[in-house]
Amino acid sequence: MAKSENQKLKLLYLRDYLRQNTDEKHPAKVTALVDYLASRGIRAERKSIYDDISMLNEYGTEVLYRRGSNGGYYVAQRDFELSELKLLVDAVLSSRFLTAGQSSALIKKLAALSSTHEAELLRRQIVLSGRLKTENDTSISNIDTLYEAIDRDSQVVFRYFDWGVDLKKHFRRGRCTASPYALLWDNENYYLIAYTGKHGITHYRVDKMEEIFLTGQKRVFTEESRKFDPAAYSREVFGMYRGKTQQVKLRFENALAGVVVDRFGRDVLLIPDGDEHFTLTVRVSLSPNFLGWLAGFGGRASVVFPQSAVDAYASQLKEALAALT
């Protein structure tokens, strides 16, 4: 590229350098900016640098100056604060939905949103070893396909597998055809909430889906599915293990109020039951996962009503005890 053409890119190079190499703790002196531009074949004088920085501020890139022997210019505000990037990196690392390779690639992109100095702090906190990760590298493209199906109001067809004790994929017989309603993030995984004629409204783990295609056929909606609420579904289905959904009255010690609110939300009604307990009535899927969650509190939590739920809880506890003998 000719030198005169490079000169036209002066402001862009200056902006990129400041964003990538400076922050409040690492300002750049004007001489460093002049030298960098020279390495790009761009002539620059101190006065022109001041004019350029003024123009960047006018454009919206906040560049401040710090006085002193270690002073200089630096980008003061970015799209993401370092604390926000750390939060996003942690979310990517903890996601079982992503492969180790996909996690690393996303983290590099997140790190590029900070200065090189802050990016180094992000890299120091990255620990991929020992994290449970999917081996399905099509998961991200699956998400795109499913969102496209929802947007186009199209049914999808796919193959679904389970992991066997031999640690190999075992595909279920035949292909599944479903009407996708929503994608839900729960229990560190993505799930497709969909309607099938055989199972009604149900869900599938996206990382266990393969060979997803749009059929072009319109999605099927029933009276129940038209009232479908993804948030309510997530509250009712513990660990994404679905059983019979019903109203259940529960009793907890007062100290567990925070746990209950975290699980069911702040719109639940907690009714005092004596000085040390409270009760609430919620709609849940009476699954082994839910009953196991409840059993984790020992004698501090119990099922009160209906009797069928009380019996189901007692039966699961007895089976757990029998397995120990």
Task: Tell the burial category of 313 from Cβ atoms under 10 Å away from its Cβ (0-12, 13-18, 19+).
Answer: buried
Long-range (24+ apart) CB contacts under 8 A made by 122-126 are 122/82, 122/85, 122/86, 122/89, 125/86, 125/89, 126/89, 126/93
Cα–Cα–Cα angle for 231, 233, 237, rounded to 5 degrees:
125
- Provide the number of structural domains found in the chain: 4
Domain boundaries, position 106? 82-124
149 and 186 co-located in one domain: yes
97 and 25 in a common domain: no
Q: Chain-wide mean pLDDT for the chain?
A: 82
Tokens of 4: 């005169």
Model confidence over 231-270: pLDDT tens digits?
A: 777 666 655 556 677 888 999 999 888 888 877 877 788 8
The pLDDT value given to residue 129: 44
Instruction: Report if pTM > 0.85.
Output: no
221: pLDDT strictly greater than 70: yes
Provide mean pLDDT across the span 15-26. 84
Residues 242 and 310 in one domain: yes
What is the pLDDT at residue 307? 92
187 token code pair: 């229990």
Determine the Cα–Cα distance for residues 194 and 203; give it in Å rounded to an integer. Answer: 6
Higher pLDDT, 302 or 322: 302
- Residue 133 has a pLDDT of 59
Q: What CATH number should be reported for the domain holding residue 262?
A: 3.30.70
Q: Which of these three, 228, 249, 279, is where a domain ends?
A: 228
- Residue 130 inside a domain? The answer is no
**C-alpha pair distances (Å), 9 with each of 3, 6, 60, 287:** 10, 5, 18, 62
pLDDT number for residue 243: 63
Which residues is 316 bridged to in the sheet? none
Looking at the domain assignment, is residue 134 inside a domain?
Answer: no
Task: Report the C-alpha gap between 205 and 111 in whole angstroms.
Answer: 29
**Residue 133 forms part of a structural domain:** no
Q: Is 12 part of a structural domain of the chain?
A: yes
